[in-house]
Amino acid sequence: MDAREAILQRLVAIAQTFKTDGIKTVYRNNMRPPEPNLPAILVLDGDEVAAEDDPNSRGSRGPRRMTMTPQLLIVLPETQKDVGTTLNAWRAKLIRAIATDTDLMALTTNRIGGRLHSTQTSLAWGRSMLGEMGVAFAIPYYLDPNTL
C-alpha cells in the first residue's frame, strides 16, 4: 500500500478512538456533517511536497522524501457552549494522540511521526461563530515509486 494512504488510514483510526470521549462520527474527505452527527472529526487528505534537496541522481524511479500536511477538522454543534475552550481541548487531544501514536510513527521517515503544522479556526473577525477548527499536521514519509 502507498505510504500516504496508510498514513491517512491511520489518522482515521486515531480519530475513531475519540468516539469514547464524545465524538459521534469520523469522516474522511466529507463536507460538513449534519447537526445530529456532531461533534465530528473530518480527516482531510491535504497537500504534500517533495524535499527539494533530494538528489536528482536518483532519477524518476528513486525514492523521494515527502512531507504531507493532512488536516483534521473538528466540527462542533452550533449550540456548543464555550466553543473556543471546547475546540482547544479537542485540539490538544489530537496533537497528543498523533504525536505519540507508535503505529503512525512506524509509517514515517525515521519514525519521526506527525507534528503540528498549523491550526485554523472559524472563530475570527468576519468569520462565523460555528465551532470548526482545522488542525494540520506535517508528516514526513518516503515515496518509493517501485512499491506503488
* Domain count of the fold of the chain: 1
Digit-by-digit pLDDT tens for the chain (148 residues) are: 799 999 999 999 999 999 999 999 999 999 878 888 999 999 999 999 999 888 877 778 888 999 999 999 999 988 778 889 999 999 999 999 999 999 999 999 999 999 999 999 887 766 666 789 999 999 999 999 988 8
**CB hemisphere CA count around 135 (13 angstroms):** 23
- Spatial separation of the C-alpha atoms in residues 4 and 65, rounded to whole Å: 12
Q: Quick one: pLDDT at residue 125?
A: 66
Q: Quick one: pLDDT at residue 127?
A: 64
Task: For residue 114, give every residue at least 6 positions away whose Cβ sits within 8 Å of its Cβ, in sequence order, or none.
Answer: 98, 99, 101, 104, 108, 137, 138, 139
Q: Quick one: pLDDT at residue 60?
A: 81
- Domain extent, residue 115, equals 3-53+61-147
pTM: 0.91
Q: Quick one: pLDDT at residue 24?
A: 96
- Spatial separation of the C-alpha atoms in residues 148 and 10, rounded to whole Å: 18
Q: Quick one: pLDDT at residue 81?
A: 82
Q: What is the CATH number of the domain that holds 72?
A: 3.30.70.1700
Q: Quick one: pLDDT at residue 40?
A: 96
